[in-house]
Amino acid sequence: MNCFAKFIAARITSISHALRGLGVAIRTEGNAKVHLAATILVVILGFALDISAGEWLAIIGAIALVWIAELMNTALEGLCDIVSPEYSEKVKHAKDTAAAAVLVAATAATIIGAVVFLPYF
């Protein structure tokens, strides 16, 4: 196998690991299921209302922001549970702060969605 083929094979493996992680989050995290439903609803609404390219950029950015925050929160919580299975005030603060990041992202996404979609109604 040449160098380029090895590079491509490694990228495919990396993507498969990432997709597996996304699947784990969706299967195991209630909030990820809510984000998935919201993502599907917003994309359907965007197509139904034929939003502009600029509006799609805002919506895609908002969706990405929420998913990035949720996935990082899920990863941090999982790691914290392994590293410190017993109660720790510092771990609680770390988990609460990560959850706050998701809340901030979801709030921003909601505002962006309102700015984009409300004029259509």
| DSSP H helices in 1-121 | 3-28, 30-49, 53-83, 89-117
- Of the candidates 56, 58, 65, the one whose C-alpha atom is nearest the C-alpha of residue 35 is 65
**95 close to 77: Cβ distance less than 8 angstroms:** yes
**25 close to 32: Cβ distance less than 8 angstroms:** yes
The tokens for 110 are 């909601």
Q: Is 70 a catalytic residue?
A: yes
Among 29, 70, 77, 86, the active-site one is: 70
* Residues known to be catalytic: 70
